[in-house]
């Protein structure tokens, strides 16, 4: 699976690295694609011997030195032990081969973006491990055998330059797209370089724009001018490690001479500039100043003028510029200053952008308001309509909105039923759009959206990767401690005997307004479902499945609700007889790794296997490690007395009972992850080792936040994961450390 702590919805320039659409699939086919806060549902022992750790004098702080020799030696020794157990299992080679076959399959859908008459696609396979950036004409792309024109061979570039380049995307200047700024990461970390590329010569521009390695971004103003935001050193970085200064860089001048346009504060999460294209051919330079993870100050940058603050609420997200209307969503109830009209949380709104620039007046109109069990997914402007993906009870739908003198009118599309939909390929300059559809048992299919006649036509599909005969998908609900009903999906065999013996893997995320929707995964199907396992996805609070309120119900000191939700789902599965603690495992990554870490410490009796991937686990020092300071808006601040006390009560690293009985936990992370610090997983594993609790630990030396830098590493990562789960949940004689 691909895990991420999604960046602020305000940080538009970070979409490539921290996409709020948040893929959760674990294969290349899917990469398109009122209780008191402190209440706990578990019956804790009367006396617990919790290991005491002073965050200001942590004895394991040496493991936070990312590339420290002692820390890496320790990680390698743990890798050897884990490899011996998991790769030594006779099933590992088979699992890895099957996963690699799926990842490298030639019949995957080549997803891409559409511009200048071409579909641009980035492709990796058995031969092209770093990947090819390529393009095909639209007519050719719609055929069964597209003729691809290779623009950049990343394997050749990596070999030539001796660097493990990982693709991070390209920003090409409209309307002719002749020049692009290509972003490349060394080994998969978020910090990257940007290099100017000429589409005609298919080469990097000699003496062109090149940035040093840094977190941040660039955005075209015109063919000779960029806006740059780079966190190159402590003087140019926020406390979260992101840029807060926007500068204008003219061609032929040194980067250090770039003129400052605006700056935020070092206490901001970060500041990013971007170019917004309108359907009338106009464009505007904009800036998002992410004051916190969820609160943003939006700015317009008039040509030659001072930045002008937009009249938007702090919790809002820009979406598109359609028919002169600036379209945005709000994540809080809002009234425009000086107006008596109010707008509800979760609404999609707009106002005439040029009129506001000219007069300072914003006449806000309502485009759409999501219902209590709805949420807004992708929003994209095409030349003749605004397309909006609207999910209802975690099932996708698509509508178009047209703007006229009487405001906005809606027309719904006839889309594939009961599927997860993903809107892609929209652009203000044309009416071509694409829609991906998938389900737990339905492989990805790509549809072309015809905006003019409101049709959705299938054009490509992925073959089935596993046998779905006899499998069923159900949606259930579990009652959480405060009475809220929590939906969850179950994928199982139709003839499952409800006697508690079914090996079951429970997956959840529960944070950052990320929606976890049904997804097709050949790897999961082949390595787990085909072998008799059941798979469950819990739509717990903290996510975005039902809009901003669903997310905000579990923020900061209300976070125990999220954990109670997942416990309620697990207990409901056990009560119905689907599974039992002997055969139940829980899996999550990034923020989901924190979730499973809490499940490990709060309810160890529920699981026989816990997987915590690229996790946060030390919640008293998370804000001091890499990008952690940016997540205070999600978790709270350890330095705040009340919030710090709550964080200590849930922090997995600070709640391990030395005398407790725990299931075996599998922790995996990446040395090159510069988003969630590998020290979290390292320190937790070291603590378990000293306490005598069973665990496995794997650290990929490269790979960034996905813990894998190429398809082979993905296949190895997944094979080890499913060997562990098979050993613990399917084998009659589980390895040492079982809950029995």
Catalytic annotation, residues: 590, 705
Name the nearest CA neighbour of 676 among 718, 639, 721, 622.
622
Strands (E), 353-484: 365-369, 374-381, 386-392, 398-404, 407-412, 420-424, 432-438, 445-450, 455-461, 471-479
The full 3-state SS of 619-684, as one line of letters, equals CCCHHHCHHHHHHHHHHCCCCCHHHHHHHHHHCHHHCCECCCCCCEEEEEEECCCCCCCCHHHHHH
CB 260 within 8 A of CB 247: yes
Sequence-ordered list of residues with C-beta below 8 angstroms from that of 206, at least 6 positions apart, any chain: none
CB 317 within 8 A of CB 10: yes
CB 243 within 8 A of CB 215: yes
Sequence-ordered list of residues with C-beta below 8 angstroms from that of 76, at least 6 positions apart, any chain: none
H-assigned helices in 403-510: none
User: Tokens 């510069």 correspond to what residue?
Assistant: 674
Name the nearest CA neighbour of 389 among 508, 572, 268, 517.
517
* 673, HSE (Cβ side, Cα atoms, 13 Å): 31
CB atoms < 10 A from the CB of 414, how many? 10
CB 646 within 8 A of CB 607: no
CA dihedral 42, 48, 51, 54 (to 10 degrees): 80
Lookup: tokens for 321: 């510029």
């Amino acid at each position: 699976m691909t895990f991420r702590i999604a960046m602020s919805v305000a940080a538009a320039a970070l979409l490539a690295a921290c996409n709020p659409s948040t893929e959760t699939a674990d294969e290349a086919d899917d990469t398109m694609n009122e209780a008191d806060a402190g209440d706990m549902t578990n019956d804790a022992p009367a006396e617990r011997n919790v290991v005491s750790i002073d965050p200001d004098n942590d004895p394991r702080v040496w493991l936070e030195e990312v590339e420290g020799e002692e820390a890496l030696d320790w990680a390698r020794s743990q890798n050897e032990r884990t490899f011996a157990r998991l790769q030594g299992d006779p099933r590992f080679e088979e699992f890895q081969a099957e996963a690699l076959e799926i990842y490298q399959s030639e019949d995957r859908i080549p997803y891409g973006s559409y511009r200048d008459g071409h579909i641009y696609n980035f492709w990796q396979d058995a031969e092209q491990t770093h990947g090819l950036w390529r393009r095909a004409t639209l007519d050719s792309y719609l055929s069964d055998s597209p003729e691809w024109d290779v623009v950049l061979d990343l394997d050749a570039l990596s070999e030539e330059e001796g660097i493990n380049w990982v693709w991070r995307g390209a920003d090409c200047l409209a309307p002719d797209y002749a020049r692009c700024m290509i972003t490349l990461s060394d080994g998969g970390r978020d910090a990257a370089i940007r290099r100017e590329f000429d589409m005609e010569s298919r080469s990097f521009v000699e003496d062109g724009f090149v940035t040093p390695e840094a977190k941040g971004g660039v955005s075209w103003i015109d063919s000779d001018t960029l806006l740059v935001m780079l966190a190159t050193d402590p003087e140019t970085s926020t406390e979260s490690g992101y840029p807060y200064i926007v500068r204008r860089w003219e061609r032929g001048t040194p980067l250090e001479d770039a003129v400052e346009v605006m700056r935020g504060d070092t206490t901001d999460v970060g500041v990013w500039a971007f170019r917004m294209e309108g359907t009338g051919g106009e464009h505007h330079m904009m800036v998002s100043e992410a004051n916190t993870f969820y609160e943003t100050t939006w700015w317009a940058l008039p040509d030659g003028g001072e930045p002008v603050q937009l009249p938007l609420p702090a919790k809002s997200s820009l979406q598109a510029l359609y028919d002169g209307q600036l379209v945005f969503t709000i994540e809080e109830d809002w009234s425009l200053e000086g107006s008596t009209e109010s707008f509800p949380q979760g609404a999609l709104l707009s106002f005439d952008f040029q009129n506001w620039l000219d007069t300072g007046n914003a006449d806000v109109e309502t485009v759409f308001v999501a219902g209590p069990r709805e949420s807004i997914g992708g929003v994209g402007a095409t030349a003749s309509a605004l397309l909006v993906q609207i999910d209802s009870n975690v099932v996708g739908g698509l509508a178009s909105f047209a703007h006229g003198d009487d405001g906005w009118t809606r027309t719904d599309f006839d889309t594939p039923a009961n599927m997860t939909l993903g809107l892609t390929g929209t652009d203000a300059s044309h009416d071509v759009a694409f829609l991906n559809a998938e389900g737990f048992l339905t492989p990805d299919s790509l549809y072309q959206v015809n905006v003019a006649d409101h049709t959705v036509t299938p054009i490509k599909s992925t073959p089935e990767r596993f046998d779905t005969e006899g499998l069923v998908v159900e949606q259930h609900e579990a009652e959480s401690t405060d009475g809220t009903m929590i939906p969850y999906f179950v994928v199982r065999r139709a003839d499952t005997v409800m006697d508690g013996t079914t090996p079951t893997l429970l997956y959840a995320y529960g944070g950052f307004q990320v929606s976890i929707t049904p997804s097709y995964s050949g790897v999961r199907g082949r390595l787990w479902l085909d072998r008799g396992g059941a798979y469950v996805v819990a739509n717990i609070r903290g996510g975005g499945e039902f809009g901003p309120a669903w997310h905000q119900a579990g923020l900061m000191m209300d976070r125990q609700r999220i954990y109670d939700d997942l416990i309620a789902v697990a207990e409901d599965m056990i009560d119905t007889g689907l599974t039992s603690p002997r055969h139940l495992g829980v899996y999550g990554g990034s923020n989901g790794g924190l979730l499973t870490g809490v499940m490990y410490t709060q309810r160890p009796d529920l699981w026989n296997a816990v997987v915590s991937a690229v996790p946060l686990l030390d919640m008293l020092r998370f804000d001091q490690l890499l990008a952690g300071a940016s997540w205070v808006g999600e978790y709270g601040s350890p330095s705040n007395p009340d919030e710090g006390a709550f964080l200590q009560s849930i922090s997995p690293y600070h709640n391990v009972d030395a005398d407790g009985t725990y299931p075996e936990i599998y922790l995996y992370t990446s040395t090159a992850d510069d988003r969630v610090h590998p020290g979290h997983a390292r320190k937790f594993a070291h603590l378990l080792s000293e306490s005598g609790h069973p665990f496995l630990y794997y650290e990929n030396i490269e790979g960034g936040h996905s813990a894998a830098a190429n398809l082979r590493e993905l296949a190895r990562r997944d094979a080890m994961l499913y060997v562990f789960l098979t050993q613990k949940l399917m084998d009659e004689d589980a390895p040492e450390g079982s809950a029995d």
